C-alpha cells in the first residue's frame, strides 16, 4: 500500500513536464493516481488537451506572462485549479562570467527566475481564491547554495528561486499552502549531458573527464536520476510534509550538505 494514497484525484500542475525531471515527476504522480497537467514549451496546443484520465497537456512558455496567464485561465475554465504546483521548467547556459554573453544571462534568468515567479504568482493566486490548501514545490538546485565555474547565470537564477521559496512560504502560510524547494545535484538528464560537452570545451577537457569528475564529487558514489528527484518532490507534496515550509531540500548524494 502506498504512503501517498491520499493523492488520488489531487490536481497537480507540472511545468517542464515534457522530458527529464519534469516528465519523471508527471509519471510519479500519475502512479499515485493524481490528475496531472503537464505544461511545456514543447506542446503546441494553447488550450488544455486531455491525453487520458490522468493527464492534460498544454503549451507553456514560462518566461512569457501572456502564456502563463493563458494557462491560469484555461485551468479556471476547466475547473482544474491545482492544489499541488511543481515548477520544474529550467535551462542552463555555460561560460566564464567575464566572457559570457549578456543575452545568455538574460535568457537563463528569464526562464529560471522570472518563469518560476510568473507561474507561481498566477497559479497560487488561483489556489488562494479557490481557498484550496495545497503544496508548492520549486525546483532549485545545489547551484542555489554554491558557486560553480562557468555557470554564473544558472547559479544566480537558482539562488533567486530559493529566495522566492522562503518569501512565498511566509506569505501564504495562513492559506495553508506549504512552499518548499528541491535542490538537485548532478542528475543524469539531456541537459546535464549537454552541459558536460559545453563544459569540456570551455575547460579544455573531454566530456568523459567531466563525467568522472562529477562522480568523484558525490559521497554516495554515483550521480542522480530523475526518479531520485521525483521521489523527494512527491514527499514534499504529500501529507507527510505538512509541517515543512520554506525549506530547500538537497538531493545530491551528499555532494551538498548545507
**Annotation marks residue 154 as catalytic:** yes
Q: How far is CA 156 from the centre of its chain?
A: 16
Alpha-carbon span 79 to 15, nearest angstrom: 18
Active-site annotation holder among 56, 96, 122, 154:
154
Q: How many CB atoms lie within 10 A of CB 174?
A: 8
Q: What is the DSSP string of 87-156?
A: E-------B-GGG--HHHHHHHHIIIIIHHHHHHHHHHHHHHHTT--EEEEEE--GGGTS--TTBHHHHH
Backbone torsions φ then ψ of 42, nearest 5 degrees: -75, -25
**Which residues have a Cβ under 8 Å from the Cβ of 105 and sit 6 or more positions away?**
93, 152, 153, 156
User: Which residues are known catalytic residues?
Assistant: 154
Amino acid at each position: 500500500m502506498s504512503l501517498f494514497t491520499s493523492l488520488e484525484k489531487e490536481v497537480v500542475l507540472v511545468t517542464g513536464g515534457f522530458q527529464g525531471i519534469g516528465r519523471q515527476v508527471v509519471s510519479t504522480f500519475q502512479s499515485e493516481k493524481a490528475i496531472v497537467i503537464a505544461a511545456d514549451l514543447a506542446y503546441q496546443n494553447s488550450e488544455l488537451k486531455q491525453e487520458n484520465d490522468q493527464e492534460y497537456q498544454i503549451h507553456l512558455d514560462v518566461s512569457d506572462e501572456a502564456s502563463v496567464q493563458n494557462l491560469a485561465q484555461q485551468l479556471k475554465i476547466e475547473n482544474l485549479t491545482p492544489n499541488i504546483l511543481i515548477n520544474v521548467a529550467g535551462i542552463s547556459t555555460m561560460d566564464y562570467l567575464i566572457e559570457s554573453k549578456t543575452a545568455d544571462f538574460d535568457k537563463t534568468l528569464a526562464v529560471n527566475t522570472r518563469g518560476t515567479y510568473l507561474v507561481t504568482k498566477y497559479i497560487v493566486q488561483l489556489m488562494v481564491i479557490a481557498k484550496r490548501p495545497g503544496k508548492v514545490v520549486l525546483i532549485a538546485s545545489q547551484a542555489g547554495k554554491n558557486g560553480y565555474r562557468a555557470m554564473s547565470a544558472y547559479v544566480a537564477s537558482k539562488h533567486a528561486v530559493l529566495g522566492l521559496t522562503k518569501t512565498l512560504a511566509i506569505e501564504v502560510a495562513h492559506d495553508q499552502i506549504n512552499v518548499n524547494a528541491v535542490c538537485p545535484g548532478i542528475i543524469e538528464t539531456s541537459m546535464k549531458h549537454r552541459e558536460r560537452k559545453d563544459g569540456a570545451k570551455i575547460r579544455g577537457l573531454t566530456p568523459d573527464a567531466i563525467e568522472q569528475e562529477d562522480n568523484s564529487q558525490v559521497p554516495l558514489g554515483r550521480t542522480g536520476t530523475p526518479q531520485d528527484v521525483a521521489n523527494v518532490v512527491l514527499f514534499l507534496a504529500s501529507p507527510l510534509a505538512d509541517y515543512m515550509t520554506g525549506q530547500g531540500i538537497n538531493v545530491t548524494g551528499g555532494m551538498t550538505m548545507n
